[in-house]
Structure 1
Amino acid sequence: MQGVAAPRTPASGNEVITELPRQDDGLRALRAAVVAAPRDPEPALVLARRYVMLGRASADPRYYGQAQAVLAPWWDRPDASNGVRLLRATLLQNGHHFTEAQAELGRIVAADPRAAQAWLTLATVQAVQGDSAGAIASCGRLSSLAGQLETFACLAVASANTGRMRGAEQLLALGLEREREAGNNPAPEIRTWALTMLAELAARRGDAPVAQQRFLAALRVAPADSYLLGAYADFLLDRGRAADVPALLRDHHRNDALLLRHALALQALGRRDALVPVRAELQARFDAASLRGDAVHLREQARFTLHVVKDMPAALALAQRNWQVQKELADTRILLEAGLAARDSAALQPVLRWIRAQGLQDVVVARLVERAS
């Protein structure tokens, strides 16, 4: 496997090494407010929340680091406000420190049972870890504290890997339709979240036309949303539409997960010459993450190692490490794919038992399970 790229001196002062995120006037004003009141946590919270929003939209981890830096004066204080605690839990979640995030969120809701965002974030963390029952219970607590659309979206996340998936999809679609009929205009991030989730659930049922319609509707709302772009690229790859992926992701190669989808599309299209530098770039990024002890992209690294590098034992080991941390559909799928490719039936047994216990529904996973049985 290739190592990390060697240090290099630019050929001239005009050479572009990387592009940093542009600072808009709104960010400058928020930063100025923090500088003007260094002991007041409220301006810091506003700026940190903005950084988190930017990080989610772009999947650029530097924004999360900036958010944590802004909160540094209050980060470890035992008397930190629930606002600081909630952002701390959010940043722990983004770093895949799910156990620590869940403990923090538990302390928040114990102190303030009406903390709606904490219940929603807790449900998301529980669902990622495979605790669907806990996630559904957290959504139940959210129902009297948030709007109907947010509650239905929460239930869709919590129920996605259970036998209740279809009912959750119908509820979420109903919630979105009721918002439209009432003339309400949900926040763009909520609408994007709901439409993306609905598209993924339709794809899981094998209803490609409905999934396509929903993905395109979501893209009209948020054409640069990194999670949405990755989900749609996966849909296209699964449908044999790899030719549509490079154009979709053309301006998003700084994102590791999206660059991986680009590489998978190039491979499917037989564009080997174009794939070589992309493969080297991805390998360097994953190697650098490993040196940092960063396990956030284990799923993507397992997928890269299996489908691009074609090192089956290494891919299986990565997928198993990832499975210990999170159990979303993509984590389940890559573990099944890697176990089948490595012909390791013992490695498949825990995930097969989990799929049966959960009642997980997905047409691609169902085919993989049939092969493994």
Structure 2
Amino acid sequence: MDGWRRLGVAGLLLALVAAQAAPLVPASDDERVESLPARRAPPVAAPEQGAATDPVAAVREAGDLLAQAHADGDPRFAGRALARLQPWAADPRAPAPVVLKLAQVEQYIHRFDAAQARLQALLARDARQPQAWLTLATLQRLRGRYAESDAACAALGRLGSAALHAQACSAENLSLRGEVDTARRQFTALLAQAPDDGTRAWLSTSLGELEQRAGRSAAAERALRIAWRLDPQDRYAPLALADLLIDERRGAEALKVLDTQPRSDPVLLRRVAAGPRQGADQADLAELRDRFQQAAQRPGAFDGHAREQALYAWWVEGDLPAAVRHAQANLATQREPFDLLLLARVAAAAVDRAALAQAAQVQKAMDLHDQRLDRLLGQP
């Protein structure tokens, strides 16, 4: 479907044979049984003396850890960020920067209800918090609650201190509702006003996603490549670009993009989807299986990661019914266009009419406009 590749059963059968083989008993403690892929462990050093109760130091350190989680795709860094902020987690009068950082970490690990409640409590005591309004608008948007996101965008605009971000916030929601021409004009005007490359990269990524939903893949690719060039450290634009290339059956080009990225789970999943390439495919499959098998042994390891489970079930295991179940569970939590598109694609591949009907119902309820979805669901 749209270039998203499902694996054949050969690799799956090989994995089953290996899993059912007799256990290996090492002859001594010095014998190496297996070498697992290296993943950098989070830092374990305790805060410097006096820093544990310093909210400024805690926010700085938690921000560094969260940035590392985004860069490496490793949620353990986010767990350490949350632990660093834990002394203030239940404090209703915690400093605003602490509350904001807590909400951002909770959003990253998909504790959306907790993040939303925290932001709303902060805004109830101090409504002049632009970052809180922007974070709340983003959170409501990714949950498919566009009216609530609009309200937060409007509140941000009333502050007057973040006009560009407020306009971009509203333009994003307009584009999701299908007001593409208006949103495109707004993004283009904002790009001309953007004060730095980071802001231009953010706006270009939003514009690229707008164009992809509108069915203008060439324009989408241009915008995403510009965003990536402007901010090479950003991990979002390259993944969005890889998704576009995979959709267009340009797997070799997608792999070139993915080669530049850390081997996070989302990156490895897309490498598998992009197609085989001179032995790299089997190495990626083996690493993915190792990671998911290890994670399955840790309670709660997959909490909030049903999207990755759905992709793994589809692309790696070839288990379409499981992919549909995980995609449905994911949609109950987050409703970005990618999440609804994922459910529609695995449901179509599985010929699951009930799941397709669910996708169509959610799309209508959200008032989401996306030509990729329209084609799959037979919408006019």
Q: Which residue of 2 aligns with 1:292?
A: 299
Q: Which residue of 1 aligns with 2:221?
A: 212
Q: 2:312 aligns with which of 304, 315, 318?
A: 304
DSSP 3-state at the match of 1:292: coil
Sort the Cα spacing of 1:316 and 1:243 in 2 relative to 1 into closer, same or farther, 3 A.
same
Q: 1:275 aligns with which of 265, 276, 281?
A: 281
Letter of the 2:78 counterpart: Y
- 1:180-259 maps to which residues of 2 (within 5 A)? 184-185=195-196, 188=198, 190-259=199-268
2: CA distance, partners of 1:138 / 1:21:
37
Range moving further from structure 2, 107-116 or 291-300: 291-300
Range moving further from structure 2, 190-199 or 66-75: 66-75
CA contact (8 A) 2:65 2:78 kept: yes
Per-residue deviation at 1:286? 2.9
Sort the Cα spacing of 1:175 and 1:251 in 2 relative to 1 into closer, same or farther, 3 A.
closer
Give percent identity, aligned residues only: 33
Q: Which residue of 1 aligns with 2:81?
A: 67
DSSP 3-state at the match of 1:35: coil
Per-residue deviation at 1:317? 0.6
- 1:165-180 maps to which residues of 2 (within 5 A)? 165-179=180-194
- How many residues align? The count is 354
Per-residue deviation at 1:327? 0.7
Per-residue deviation at 1:277? 3.0
Letter of the 1:246 counterpart: L
DSSP 3-state at the match of 1:225: coil
Q: Which residue of 2 aligns with 1:331?
A: 339
Sort the Cα spacing of 1:112 and 1:278 in 2 relative to 1 into closer, same or farther, 3 A.
same
DSSP 3-state at the match of 2:49: helix
Q: 1:106 aligns with which of 113, 116, 120?
A: 120
Q: Which residue of 2 aligns with 1:149?
A: 164
1: CA distance, partners of 2:335 / 2:145:
9
Sort the Cα spacing of 1:302 and 1:19 in 2 relative to 1 into closer, same or farther, 3 A.
closer
Per-residue deviation at 1:289? 3.5
Over residues 200-245 of structure 1, what are the superposed CA-to-partner deviations in whole Å (9 max), with x where a residue is unaligned? Answer: 1112212222222212211112223221111010011112211112
Per-residue deviation at 1:116? 0.8
Over residues 78-103 of structure 1, what are the superposed CA-to-partner deviations in whole Å (9 max), with x where a residue is unaligned? Answer: 43222222211111111111111111
Over residues 252-285 of structure 1, what are the superposed CA-to-partner deviations in whole Å (9 max), with x where a residue is unaligned? Answer: 3521101111111125xxx485323322322332
Range moving further from structure 2, 117-126 or 42-51: 42-51
Question: What is the TM-score of this pair, normalised by structure 2?
Answer: 0.83
1: CA distance, partners of 2:41 / 2:229:
23
Per-residue deviation at 1:164? 3.1
Q: Which residue of 1 aligns with 2:3?
A: none
Over residues 326-353 of structure 1, what are the superposed CA-to-partner deviations in whole Å (9 max), with x where a residue is unaligned? Answer: 1111110111112122222122222202
Question: What is the TM-score of this pair, normalised by structure 1?
Answer: 0.85
CA contact (8 A) 1:339 1:345 kept: yes
Sort the Cα spacing of 1:242 and 1:334 in 2 relative to 1 into closer, same or farther, 3 A.
same
Q: Which residue of 2 aligns with 1:341?
A: 349
Letter of the 1:83 counterpart: P
CA contact (8 A) 2:51 2:57 kept: yes
Q: Which has the higher contact order (CA 8 A, sep 6+)?
A: 2
CA contact (8 A) 1:102 1:125 kept: yes
Sort the Cα spacing of 1:46 and 1:164 in 2 relative to 1 into closer, same or farther, 3 A.
same
Per-residue deviation at 1:173? 2.0
1: CA distance, partners of 2:174 / 2:294:
35
2: CA distance, partners of 1:299 / 1:230:
14
Q: Which residue of 2 aligns with 1:76?
A: 90
CA contact (8 A) 1:149 1:176 kept: no
2: CA distance, partners of 1:265 / 1:253:
16
DSSP 3-state at the match of 2:335: coil
Range moving further from structure 2, 145-154 or 223-232: 145-154
1: CA distance, partners of 2:61 / 2:311:
35
2: CA distance, partners of 1:237 / 1:228:
14
1: CA distance, partners of 2:140 / 2:340:
16
CA RMSD of aligned residues (A): 3.0
Moved over 4 A (4+): 1-12
User: Quick check: 1:123 aligned with 2:137?
Assistant: yes
DSSP 3-state at the match of 1:307: helix
Letter of the 1:196 counterpart: T
CA contact (8 A) 1:315 1:338 kept: yes
DSSP 3-state at the match of 1:326: coil
Per-residue deviation at 1:305? 1.6
Q: Which residue of 2 aligns with 1:47?
A: 61
Per-residue deviation at 1:249? 1.5
Per-residue deviation at 1:170? 2.5
2: CA distance, partners of 1:44 / 1:18:
28
2: CA distance, partners of 1:58 / 1:160:
30
CA contact (8 A) 2:187 2:207 kept: yes
CA contact (8 A) 2:269 2:315 kept: no
Sort the Cα spacing of 1:165 and 1:21 in 2 relative to 1 into closer, same or farther, 3 A.
farther
Per-residue deviation at 1:16? 8.9
CA contact (8 A) 2:145 2:366 kept: no
2: CA distance, partners of 1:327 / 1:100:
17
